Amino acid sequence: MKQIGDATTPLEQALERAVVKAERFRDRPLRYAPVYGGISNSNFRVRLEDEPQEYFVKIPGAGTEMFIDRRAAFDASRKAAAAGLGPTVYDDLYDDGIEIHDFIADRRACTNSDLAREDTRLAAIGAYRKMHAIEALTLKKTVFDMIDEHVDQVAELGGWLPPDYTWLDRQYRLARSALEASGLDLTPCFNDPMPGNFMIGTDGSIMLIDYEYASMNDRCYDLGIWFGEMFFTPDQEAELIEAYFGEVRPEIVSRVTVHKALADVKWSLWSFVQQKVSALDFDYFKYGQWKLMRLRSIMNAPDWAMHLSRV
């Protein structure tokens, strides 16, 4: 781990400039090291030499202000922490949009393999039920708001769109029309189920971290994006729907399936925005292509029209 003054990269310099401003770190000997795995921001583990608690510090990535409301992220982090679902968050650098929260060293980040196990899946769906029951968030942002935002940003930045975008947009409009006709079930949603955002303890319990994309959204979007991210089988999805709702009804399956496709629309467009603005070493174009392939597999399936009709 490095000390203040040892920075050799622009990201480390940004971290050092930030921590010396934070009240809990100012004028105290500390060490820091990068935490790898994020695809939007630069993350660091900070250790004060005179106390056992370590901290996680998130430096916002370039361009992320285009789609992340940092004040809303703080709001969601605080409310999740109050419910025992996330780590304690501190306000030292609130005005700079820099998050500081407890580093939960007694837990580790999940992998897809962890969430392929039934017990971990059920613990995670329990975490979702808890998330959806916390106090209402200040930010209302549905998947429709997210997609429309990214469409405008791609156009403004001169970003790439796939050759079949006209068809894709038509499917998005059909899905939006069907869901809006049936009514949105708004609840506090996590909206960002990368495996590494699920922190598992030795007892098998799950905490959630990283509430940057959290908002009031349709609960079936939260389930659909998670199911897609984990590549759950239809049987596994049915198991989780039953665990969450107490039953498996055709309209719930369809609603989750449609949201699964919409999540890939959102994140493919997000990737083409990031391709233009991010300074991180990550292949956003490849990431977006992968999302496009998966959403086409859902929208081109023979049962797509059926799912739209029964949401």
Residue at which a domain ends, from 75, 104, 133: 104
Residues 166 and 96 in one domain: no
The predicted pLDDT at position 72 comes to: 96
Residue span of the structural domain in which 48 resides: 2-64+87-104
Residues 128 and 91 in one domain: no
Look at residue 190 and tell me whether its pLDDT is greater than 90. Answer: yes
> Average pLDDT, stretch 116-130?
97
Residues 169 and 268 in one domain: yes
> Average pLDDT, stretch 73-79?
97
Q: How confident is the model at residue 89 (pLDDT cuts 50, 70, 90)?
A: very high
Q: How confident is the model at residue 185 (pLDDT cuts 50, 70, 90)?
A: very high
Domain assignment of residue 81, yes or no: no
Domain tally, the chain: 2
Residues 18 and 153 in one domain: no
Look at residue 138 and tell me whether its pLDDT is greater than 90. Answer: yes
Residues 56 and 199 in one domain: no
Q: Where are the beta strands (DSSP E) in the chain?
A: 2-3, 30-35, 42-48, 54-59, 89-90, 99-102, 107-109, 186-189, 198-201, 206-208, 215-218
Residues 240 and 145 in one domain: yes
* Alpha-carbon distance values, 196 to 43, 141, 240, 271 (Å): 13, 23, 20, 18
Closest CA to 309 of 117, 168, 178: 178
Domain assignment of residue 74, yes or no: no
Residues 6+ apart with CB under 8 A from 176: 144, 262
CATH number of the domain residue 254 falls in: 3.90.1200.10
Residues 91 and 156 in one domain: no
Q: Render pLDDT for 244-259 as a digit per residue (tens, 0 to 9).
A: 999 999 999 999 999 9
> Average pLDDT, stretch 155-176?
97
> Average pLDDT, stretch 82-107?
95
Domain assignment of residue 41, yes or no: yes
Rounded to the nearest integer, the mean pLDDT of the chain is 95
Percent of the chain with pLDDT over 70: 100
Residues 162 and 280 in one domain: yes
Domain assignment of residue 263, yes or no: yes
Look at residue 36 and tell me whether its pLDDT is greater than 90. Answer: no
The predicted pLDDT at position 40 comes to: 81
Domain assignment of residue 70, yes or no: no
Q: How confident is the model at residue 222 (pLDDT cuts 50, 70, 90)?
A: very high
Domain assignment of residue 59, yes or no: yes
Residues 275 and 200 in one domain: yes
Residues 194 and 278 in one domain: yes
The predicted pLDDT at position 67 comes to: 84
Residues 305 and 227 in one domain: yes
The predicted pLDDT at position 172 comes to: 98
Domain assignment of residue 50, yes or no: yes
Residues 94 and 139 in one domain: no
3-state secondary structure of 73: helix
Domain assignment of residue 77, yes or no: no
Q: How confident is the model at residue 62 (pLDDT cuts 50, 70, 90)?
A: confident
